[in-house]
Amino acid sequence: MTKQKSSFENRNLCGKNVARFRNLLADHPSQEKLAAKMQLKGLNINKNAIQRIECGKRMVTDRELDAFSQIFNVPVDELLYGPKDEA
């Protein structure tokens, strides 16, 4: 029996917001530099993982979400759902 491919491709809620907040940082870090910042927070993550998160192809752990929140200095809710003023 073959497994049907799910039409649900987006594996996270925060990917687009991670990309947006990354580009809003003063130093406009590349995905590689963001991965380095995550590594300083103790998370083993690389540029490819950041790319997959931003395009929704990779799930995000609670620890990664917390680290993104700290790096971007935004509440977790904003990473998940976007800024409140856009609602």
Are 65 and 79 contacting, i.e. CB atoms less than 8 angstroms apart? yes
Return the pLDDT at 86.
Answer: 59
pTM over cut 0.85? yes
Whether 86 is covered by a domain: the verdict is: no
Whether 85 is covered by a domain: the verdict is: no
pLDDT in tens, 54-66: 999 999 999 999 9
CATH code where residue 36 lies: 1.10.260
Whether 19 is covered by a domain: the verdict is: yes
pLDDT in tens, 4-17: 555 567 999 999 99
Are 69 and 79 contacting, i.e. CB atoms less than 8 angstroms apart? yes
Are 49 and 32 contacting, i.e. CB atoms less than 8 angstroms apart? no
Domain limits at 52?
15-80
Are 57 and 50 contacting, i.e. CB atoms less than 8 angstroms apart? no
Q: How many domains would you assign to the chain?
A: 1
- Can you tell me the mean pLDDT for 26-40? 97
Are 50 and 31 contacting, i.e. CB atoms less than 8 angstroms apart? yes
Whether 4 is covered by a domain: the verdict is: no
